[in-house]
């Protein structure tokens, strides 16, 4: 995916709880850029082509924060899934801009660093 587009949809600091229950903190957009470069190398080794969101649902909604649950699917070029996982995203509204500030997923594999 396009890292700059991802960053435009995020708030920093940005926190992620991995499938292995380890916290990853990205203080700045540049921290996320660096981690994304490493993850892309690992994804390419897996044969990753793209990630699709199979469904997304707002489970709790407030005026300044929304909790979303989603099912993501990492896929090869022929659209076959090789790694599907559930995830929780917390979007916050800061200075009038919505962005994801926290993620927690059940993803476990070599390229889970972002």
Among residues 9, 26, 86, 24, the alpha carbon closest in space to that of 54 is found at: 86
pLDDT of residue 21: 92
User: Residue 33: what are its φ and ψ, rounded to 5°?
Assistant: -55, -45
pLDDT of residue 1: 56
Q: Write the class of the CATH domain 3-105.
A: alpha beta
Among residues 53, 52, 56, the alpha carbon closest in space to that of 76 is found at: 52
pLDDT of residue 84: 93
pLDDT of residue 44: 86
Q: How far is CA 34 from CA 8, 21, 28, 38, 99, in A?
A: 16, 21, 10, 7, 20
pLDDT of residue 42: 87
> What is the pTM assigned to this prediction?
0.85
Among residues 73, 99, 76, the alpha carbon closest in space to that of 87 is found at: 73
pLDDT of residue 114: 54
Contact 19, 107 (CB under 8 A): yes
Q: What is the pLDDT along the chain (114 residues), one digit of tens a residue?
A: 589 999 999 999 999 998 889 999 999 999 999 998 888 888 889 899 999 999 999 999 999 999 999 999 999 999 999 999 999 999 999 999 999 999 999 887 655 555
pLDDT of residue 24: 94
């Amino acid at each position: 995916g396009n890292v700059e587009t991802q960053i435009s949809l995020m708030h920093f600091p940005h926190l992620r709880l991995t499938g292995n229950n380890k916290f990853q903190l990205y203080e700045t957009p540049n921290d996320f850029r660096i981690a994304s470069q490493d993850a892309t190398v690992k994804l390419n080794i897996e044969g990753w082509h793209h990630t699709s969101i199979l469904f997304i649902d707002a489970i709790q909604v407030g005026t300044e924060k929304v909790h979303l649950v989603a099912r993501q699917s990492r896929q090869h070029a022929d659209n076959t899934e090789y790694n599907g996982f559930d995830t929780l995203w917390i979007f916050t509204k800061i200075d009038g801009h919505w962005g994801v500030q926290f993620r927690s997923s059940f993803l476990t594999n070599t390229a889970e660093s972002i």
